[in-house]
Chain A
Amino acid sequence: KSNQGRLDSFFGPS
């Protein structure tokens, strides 16, 4: 089973 990743966990705040 796979879960949808969230962008926040890849890109930090600028």
Chain B
Amino acid sequence: MFEARLAQGALLKKVVEAIKDLIEDANFDCNSSGFSLQAMDSSHVSLVALSLRADGFEHYRCDRNVSMGMKLASLSKILKCANGDDAITMKSEDNGDTITFMFESPEQERLSEFDLKLMDIDSEHLGIPDNEYDATVKLPAAEFQRIVKDLSTIGDTVEISVTKDAVKFGTTGDIGNANIMCRQNKAADKPDESTEIDINEAVSLTFALRYLNSFAKATPLSTHAVLKLSKELPILVEYHIPEVGRLAFYLAPKIED
């Protein structure tokens, strides 16, 4: 059987809210090392990769590898019934056709159980090479969210250019154009507000803002968003979930005709 208890149930709520508009349904894969998911959006332009390590859970048991297909909209409906401070336990029997979500209030005076029907989903698993990137930018998650939101009011795509000490986000639209530059800033006294750039080679790539805005829904999960870019490769946008794992998104670049 599979059983996993997450004391900070809010994490699971935030993860599902961050991905439910991007992917309709997905297989959640559980094995002894943890709980993970890899799924592409229906147009195969972006990919979500979630991994929650077994040791990030208060209790974790997975006797055999299981893949549980769930409709994200249904999962979201159920998790909305959990309070932000509830602990969430997921349970499923081997070969079971449901997964049970148990919500416990901090004082354990309220216990609720919701069963979600599992579904068979054909999913294509992509092999993502663990390559080194030309540039890595770590910036406050809220700042990244604001940049992609603001630029979306002007254009549909963003050109992200990284140099040794700054990252520039630029867009062009019918009403004009916009550029936002963030300089490297390693403020030791305010680590949550730091912007760090690690670069092997200057890089400039163009992406659809619609998807980056969708990725930014993961903002509540982490203080920082980490952008990893390489010439002519998909961008990786990572949100580290302290002590539990990470939620990562890949987005294919716009290609010059």
| A contact residues vs B (CB 8 Å cutoff) | 1-14
Contact = CB atoms under 8 A, between A and B. Distances in A.
6 contacts: A2-B257, A5-B252, A7-B126, A10-B233, A12-B126, A14-B128
Contacts of A10: 233-234, 252
Given A10-B233, A10-B234, A5 B255 contact: yes
B40 A7 contact: yes
A10 B234 CA distance: 7
Given A10-B233, A10-B252, A4 B45 contact: yes
Interface residues of B, number: 24
B257 A7 contact: no
B208 to A, nearest CB: 6
B257 A14 contact: no
Interface of B: 40, 43-47, 124-129, 157, 206, 208, 233-234, 250, 252-257
B113 to A, nearest CB: 35
A2 B254 contact: yes
Contacts of B124: 13
Contact of A6 (B125, B127, B129, B252): B252
Given A13-B124, A13-B127, A7 B44 contact: yes
A3 B250 contact: no
Contacts of B43: 6
B40 A4 contact: no
Nearest to A9: B252
Contacts of A2: 157, 206, 254-257
Given A10-B233, A10-B234, A4 B252 contact: yes
Contacts of A3: 254-255, 257
A3 B43 CA distance: 13
A10 B46 CA distance: 11
A7 B45 contact: yes
Q: Which 7 A-B pairs have the closest CB atoms?
A: A14-B127, A5-B252, A2-B254, A11-B126, A14-B125, A1-B257, A6-B44
